Copies of this chain bind each other. A is one copy, B any other.
Amino acid sequence: MKVVKNISEIQRICLDYKRAGKIIGLVPTMGYLHEGHLSLVREAKKRCDTVIVSIFVNPIQFGKGEDYDIYPRDLGRDIELLTEEKADILFAPSVREMYPEGYSTFVEVEGEITSKMCGASRPGHFRGVTTVVSKLFNICLPDYAFFGQKDAQQVTIIEKMARELNFPIEIVRVPIVREEDGLAMSSRNVYLAPEERREALVLYQSLQHALKLIKSGERDVPRIKREMEEMIKSRPRAEIDYIEIVRAEDLAYIDKIEGRVLVALAVRIGKTRLIDNLLVEV
């Protein structure tokens, strides 16, 4: 696997691939890779001639007081994992390479889709995401870009951005990968102390409970949310950031379960903010 840190170098490589008619796949990540990321790489390998993985902890998607400085990083281990998966190129630029002195261009999806849920708890977060993803799209010129369903709001926003800015790119959603007990894989799970790790399971459990309710015919959104809330509140270290049940397509609020629905939540376990979600179709 080739490791590239320089934008103009990888862009030249990608332009040459493009001109040679090769299908390029991009897997944008912030590194500290886990099985969730690797499932994106495997999906990309299936569909593309060349798979580029980017690792970049993007400062502009972190708010003040968030975990940018302590976000886990281990490039050596990531390189080993990606080499095993036979990724073709790792693009790992520096912050200065991506945001040179005086940088001031941003891509923003406006409206409720970015201001609710994670956007409410993390103002400016999605603007940082759509900006860096636009840059990565222009640098790597992928035909397909792969994102995890774990960040459901993020991938919905990126789909809207890609569609509205007319990127010639297909966004591929890859299902959540979970630990054996159901906890969604996340680089942030490493923050959890053992007792927090046990309590963290409540995100998955509350989603499973919602699923059970829906399958048993419950259609009332406030009632389902209330039961999830009660379940989570029973855990002493858990503090709810949000629980939302929205239309999967555009994250619009709904009162009744109907069509494709996203049940999504963010919960703080101690100091660690975790997210999880479930897609249901009725």
Contact = CB atoms under 8 A, between A and B. Distances in A.
A166 B108 contact: no
A104 B166 contact: no
Contact of A168 (B15, B105, B106, B165): B15
Interface stretch (A64-72, A131-139, A270-278): A131-139
A19 interface: yes
Nearest to A18: B18
Nearest to A11: B168
Contacts of A130: 105
A6 to B, nearest CB: 12
Interface string A35-68: 0000000000000000000000000000000000
A110 interface: yes
B135 A165 contact: yes
A141 interface: yes
A105 B15 contact: no
Nearest to A103: B164
Interface in A62-113: 100, 102-111, 113
A21 interface: yes
Interface in A14-28: 15, 18-21
Contact of A109 (B7, B104, B110, B111): B104
Nearest to A15: B168
A167 interface: yes
A164 B11 contact: no
B110 A161 contact: no
Given A138-B166, A141-B168, A168-B11, A105 B161 contact: yes
B165 A107 contact: yes
A122 interface: no
Contact of A108 (B100, B108, B113): B108
A203 to B, nearest CB: 29
B105 A105 contact: no
A11 to B, nearest CB: 6
Nearest to A127: B108
A160 interface: yes
A135 B105 contact: no
Interface string A245-273: 00000100000000000000000000000
6 contacts: A104-B111, A104-B113, A105-B107, A105-B130, A105-B165, A139-B166
Given A104-B164, A139-B166, 13 more contacts: A19-B19, A19-B21, A102-B250, A105-B108, A105-B165, A106-B108, A106-B110, A108-B108, A135-B164, A135-B165, A135-B166, A138-B165, A138-B168
